[in-house]
Structures are given as C-alpha cells and as structure tokens.
C-alpha cells in the first residue's frame, strides 16, 4: 500500500462483502483495489456526465408535457 493512501472504515451489506471477497480471491486483487477502481469509475462517469451537461447548456429546454404530446401525435404512445 502506498504512503499516499488514506485509511477509512466502510460498512458493507454482508452479502455484498462476501461477493467482494470472492471477487478479490478470484481476481487475485485486494478488496481495497476493487473498491477503489469501482469508485474511480463512478467518479469518471460523473465527470463525463457533467461535461455532457456543460456541452448542452445552451440547448433549448423541452418540457415533459411537450414530449408526451409529440409521442401521442406520432402514435408512439
């Protein structure tokens, strides 16, 4: 473990913990490595989502009601 890592306590549902332990054994990785990778991926997805929102900030807003009306008019609802 690197000197740059931080230690914390995380409480898992017992079944989830068992699944993580099993995955750690099968993949020859530590539970911490698996959790860190999953969190990294989740945060990267959030960053991608925020970038997509930023790219579309100037697009006109479309109301839910107008989308429903359009679907009904097109016979798709």
Domain ranges, ordered by start, for the chain:
14-73
Average pLDDT over residues 34-53: 96
Pairwise CA distance, residues 72 & 77, whole Å: 5
Mean per-residue pLDDT for 38-61? 94
Q: What is the dihedral of CA 50, 51, 54, 60, to 10 degrees?
A: -90
pLDDT at position 3, please? Answer: 74
Place of tokens 């911490």: 32
Task: Name the DSSP letter for residue 60.
Answer: P
Q: For 26-49, what is the mean pLDDT?
A: 97
Helix (H, G, I), strand (E, B) or coil at 71: helix
Residues in the chain, how many? 77
């Amino acid at each position: 473990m690197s000197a740059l890592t931080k230690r914390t306590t995380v409480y898992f549902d017992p079944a989830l913990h068992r699944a993580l332990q099993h995955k750690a054994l099968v993949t020859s990785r530590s539970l911490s490595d698996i959790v860190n990778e999953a969190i990294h991926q989740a945060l990267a997805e959030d960053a991608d989502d925020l970038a997509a929102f930023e790219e579309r900030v100037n697009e006109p807003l479309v109301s839910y009601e107008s989308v429903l009306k359009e679907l009904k008019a097109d016979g798709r609802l």
